[in-house]
Amino acid sequence: MLALMDSFQATIDADGRIEPRDAMPEGYRKTLIRQIAQHAHSEIIGMQPEGNWISRTPSLRRKAILMAKVQDEAGHGLYLYAAAETLGVDRAELLDLLHAGKQKYSSIFNYPTLTWADIGAIGWLVDGAAIVNQVPLCRCSYGPYARAMVRVCKEESFHQRQGFEILHTLCNGTEAQKAMAQDALDRWWWPSLMMFGPPDASSTHSEQSMAWGIKRHSNDELRQRFVDMTVPQADVLGIRVPDDGLRYDEETGHYSFTQPDFTELYEVVKGNGPCNEQRLAHRVKAHEDGAWVREAAAAYAGKQAQKKASAA
């Protein structure tokens, strides 16, 4: 066993990939299950805030685009549950844990989408933050997670552009439309910064996850990267990031900015955000309503297996 663990460490040290059949410490396996499951749950719960606008898009073109985007998020959830299953868990088990409130999903999806501009803000800011967080995960030390991330990131960058384009249209429309875009930025800016997790000093998992090559950058490094990328985009839109402390530092080449109120993040993660109850109740109902589909698929697979066995 010691030799097997030596080979795990040697692979990590050489920046190689750990594959499902390789030996791995139990802590590594558990950390990956926690993070990948949380990520998968975020993708499927993340369909709800945007799904809320599919029947109310301003045009047929916008409806087709939004439906495709929401469907992509479902696909991301599926790749991620499949990646988690390579670690020896079952997706049904992970969903039960989500429904029982024992596994988390991203805090960001507990905020409401009040106007059409919020759909633009989700694409621009939330998918934008997701890209900043997930591009380094394409180099994660666990092979199946890293490979899933490559395709996810390609799709997320398309999502980010569609969100930006919605806001660009609004910002070049009437005064009322531009005000709607500003209001969306005002409400989504701080929750987007919180998506990167607690500050490094309070992050429980970062140090170990970075040593194992699961995370490549700390929460604060990625938050900074997101601010540096996004502020010039807000300038292009002609709307203002709601932070009086925002300054560009010529010397460092980075923006200094006000940190979000992390007590709000902890409250939302604990279940006290504006939409936590609604999101989970909707998810549980969708799961229960879909039981007959799962049962039918299992019955069909059983019949096919029987047919194959009797033909052999």
CB of 232 to ligand FAQ, least distance (A): 21
Nearest 5°: CA angle at 207, between 203 and 211? 155
- If one asks whether residue 52 binds ligand FAQ (CB under 6 A), the answer comes out as no
Can you tell me which of 12, 24, 33, 43 binds ligand FAQ, judged by CB under 6 A?
A: 43
Measured from the CB atom, the residue of 182 and 218 that comes closer to ligand FAQ is: 218
Q: Does 38 bind ligand FAQ (CB under 6 A)?
A: yes
Cβ contacts of residue 155 below 8 Å, gap of 6+?
A: 72, 75, 76
Of the candidates 126, 129, 143, the one whose C-alpha atom is nearest the C-alpha of residue 36 is: 143
Does 126 contact ligand FAQ by CB under 6 A? yes
Q: What pairs with residue 219 in β-bridges?
A: none
Per-residue x/- track, 84-113, ligand FAQ (CB under 6 A): --------------------x-xx------
Check binding of 219 to ligand FAQ (CB under 6 A): yes
Q: Residues 147-176: x/- map of binding to ligand FAQ (CB under 6 A)?
A: ------------------------------
Signed CA dihedral, 221, 223, 227, 229: sign only = positive
Task: Report if residue 72 touches ligand FAQ, rule: CB under 6 A.
Answer: no
Instruction: Give 170-173's long-range contacts (Cβ < 8 A, gap of 24+).
Output: 170/116, 170/117, 170/120, 171/237, 171/238, 171/239
Which CA distances in Å does 217 have to 92, 189, 195? 31, 21, 14
Compute the least distance from the CB of residue 125 to ligand FAQ, in Å.
9
Please give the residue whose beta carbon sits closest to ligand FAQ in the complex: 46
Rank residues 142 and 178 by Cβ distance to ligand FAQ and give the closer one. Answer: 142
End-to-end CA gap in the chain: 40
Backbone angles phi, psi at 20, to 5 degrees: -50, -35
Residues found near ligand FAQ in the complex (CB under 6 A): 34-35, 38-39, 42-43, 46, 73, 104, 106-107, 122, 126-127, 130, 133, 194-198, 203-206, 209, 215, 219, 269
